[in-house]
Amino acid sequence: MDDLTSRRLPPVGQTIRFMPGDLLRREAHVDAAVLRRFVTGFFLVLCVAVAAWPVLPRRFEAIGSVILRPTDREGQSDSALAMRQPLDDNAVQSEMDLVSATSVIDAVIERHAVAADPEFATPSLLADLARRAGWTPGPVAPTQADLRERVRRHLVVARDRRSYTVRVGFWSADPAKAHAVAQTLVSAYLDDQVTRKRQAAESLFQWLELRVALLRSKEQDSAQAVEDFMTRSGLVDRGDQISLDAQLVTLSQEAALAKARSIELTTRAATLATLQASNGLDGAPEVLASTTIQALKQSLSAALGRTVVMSPEQRAITEQITAESSRIVRSATAEGENWSRREAALQAQIRAIRAALTERQKATMVLERLQQEAANDRTALSDALTRLKGQTASGGAQRTDVEVVSRPEMPRTAAFPSLPLYALGTLLAACLAGAALNGRLLLGWGRRFLEL
């Protein structure tokens, strides 16, 4: 048995007795060992953290603030209107995305020679290790797309709470570079916005010019169509309408008179024909009023007074009276027919005039439609000319849709790493390291706690 064993094991047959003082000394020895291991781990992590602090990569952020503004000319000069503009979250997010637009990033890359900057042109650590191991070919210059992506990773674009204020900036290991690139970023963003608005205004101006040319040609065609139709339809001669109206009135009056005369004479002729058929024509007013019949009757009376027996002279006078009566009936019938034909001719003329008036009315309706189209074309042309004039007046007064509240300033302290957070993390890591060195003891305490 060696000395170590003899110290650990008592002699055979000897009873081991534990005194209270021995137990206290053993617990004190255990507590001192636990504390010593904890302090060793704590200070080891603390020393490593203190030594690593100076060599940690720094991140300097240069950030400015802008406020989104309305896009119309009235809102650009009225800050109160900017606060009342109905921009939703999607519109604000879209405007934030325009900060990293390709044109803006390309302006930053060109102005600061990013392609030759080691911070952006140097390949990543994994790519460098793969190249050194021979897994990838030799170093290749980054493409424009790679440079854009690397620059976008350094952008700082965030919305300030729920307002229209947007924080725009750039971070880098060099505070001067971060400040310079952030200034360029804000300026390029504002210039790009003005450029986009100017391009939109130029496109609108070109479209308005084309529209004015088309509307002017259309207005001229419609005006010419009105003139041609007035000449072709005869509506250009307004005296023709007056003449037709006067003719219609006169012929209508004459037709009414002819109709009345035709009815009257037709009725009288029919009455005379009836009397003639019934041998009562002698009592007709027309026969009684005929001077020829009256003279013949006087001659007949004189002849009857000379002889009782009807002589040839009497028969001749009677035949003359009968022939004259028949002539009166025929004359009445012919006069009635003449008035009927006159009425028919007047009615035909009236119908022709009415047809002409109807055609003129139809032509007038077509003319009104053509005139309305021409008026609409003139109105559209006037509106287009007004918009073109307004666009021409406002073409050189394009302003940005944002207001720069504060320009990016030179950062004096690094945003990362943060000393308070680094100190807090170091203390936490040191405590965990000290506890890890007493892991077996903590594990035993945990088991006993679970057994309880």
Q: Which has the closest alpha carbon to 206: 428, 416, 384?
A: 384
Q: Same domain, yes or no, for 303 and 258?
A: yes
Is 206 a member of any domain? Answer: no
pLDDT tens figures, 344-378: 999 999 999 899 889 989 998 999 999 999 999 99
Is 317 a member of any domain? Answer: yes
Burial of 278 (0-12, 13-18, 19+ CB in 10 A): exposed
Q: Same domain, yes or no, for 375 and 430?
A: no
State how far the Cα of 439 lies from the Cα of 445, in Å rounded to an integer: 10
Identify the pLDDT of residue 422. 85
pTM for this one? Answer: 0.60
Q: Same domain, yes or no, for 172 and 264?
A: no
Domain boundary among 354, 376, 393: 393
Average pLDDT on 248-260 reads 89
Q: Same domain, yes or no, for 246 and 277?
A: yes
Structure tokens at 55: 């060599």
Which of 145-149, 267-271, 303-307 is predicted with the least confidence, judged by mean pLDDT? 303-307
Average pLDDT on 150-154 reads 93
> With 60 as the cut, is the pLDDT of residue 269 above it?
yes
Is 3 a member of any domain? Answer: no
- Cα dihedral 319, 325, 331, 333 in deg (nearest 10): -120
Average pLDDT on 73-89 reads 56
Q: Same domain, yes or no, for 196 and 310?
A: no
Q: Which has the closest alpha carbon to 349: 241, 447, 434, 253?
A: 253
What integer best gives the mean pLDDT of the chain?
A: 79
Is 363 a member of any domain? Answer: yes
State how far the Cα of 313 lies from the Cα of 92, in Å rounded to an integer: 131
Is 65 a member of any domain? Answer: yes
- Cα dihedral 29, 32, 37, 41 in deg (nearest 10): 180
Is 12 a member of any domain? Answer: no
pLDDT tens figures, 165-193: 899 999 999 999 999 999 999 999 999 98
Task: Say whether 112 sits in a helix, a strand or coil.
Answer: coil
Identify the pLDDT of residue 8. 47
Is 20 a member of any domain? Answer: no
- Looking at the structure of the chain, the number of domains it has is 2
- Which is more confident, 212 or 316? 212
Q: Same domain, yes or no, for 243 and 377?
A: yes
- Which is more confident, 97 or 309? 97
Per-position b or e across 209-245, b if 16+ CB within 10 A of its CB: eebbeebeebbeebbeebeebbeebebeeeeebeebe
Q: Same domain, yes or no, for 366 and 404?
A: no
Q: Same domain, yes or no, for 169 and 294?
A: no
**What domain range includes position 192?**
32-72+86-200+399-446
CB 174 within 8 A of CB 63: no
State how far the Cα of 25 lies from the Cα of 354, in Å rounded to an integer: 140
Q: Same domain, yes or no, for 384 and 237?
A: yes
Using CA atoms, how far residue 187 sits from 1, 91, 313, 327, 401, in Å, is 88, 21, 139, 119, 13
Is 173 a member of any domain? Answer: yes
Structure tokens at 38: 């904890």
Identify the pLDDT of residue 148. 93
Domain boundary among 393, 412, 437: 393
Looking at residue 11, what DSSP letter applies? P
> With 70 as the cut, is the pLDDT of residue 33 above it?
yes
Q: Same domain, yes or no, for 269 and 152?
A: no
Does an H or E element contain 315, and which? helix 312-394
- Which is more confident, 287 or 408? 408
Q: Which has the closest alpha carbon to 103: 202, 165, 190?
A: 190
Q: Same domain, yes or no, for 361 and 425?
A: no
State how far the Cα of 423 lies from the Cα of 434, in Å rounded to an integer: 16
The Cβ-side half-sphere exposure at 391, using a 13 Å CA radius, reads: 20
State how far the Cα of 93 lies from the Cα of 375, in Å rounded to an integer: 46
Per-position b or e across 2-20, b if 16+ CB within 10 A of its CB: eeeeeeeeeeeeeeeeeee
Q: Same domain, yes or no, for 387 and 269?
A: yes
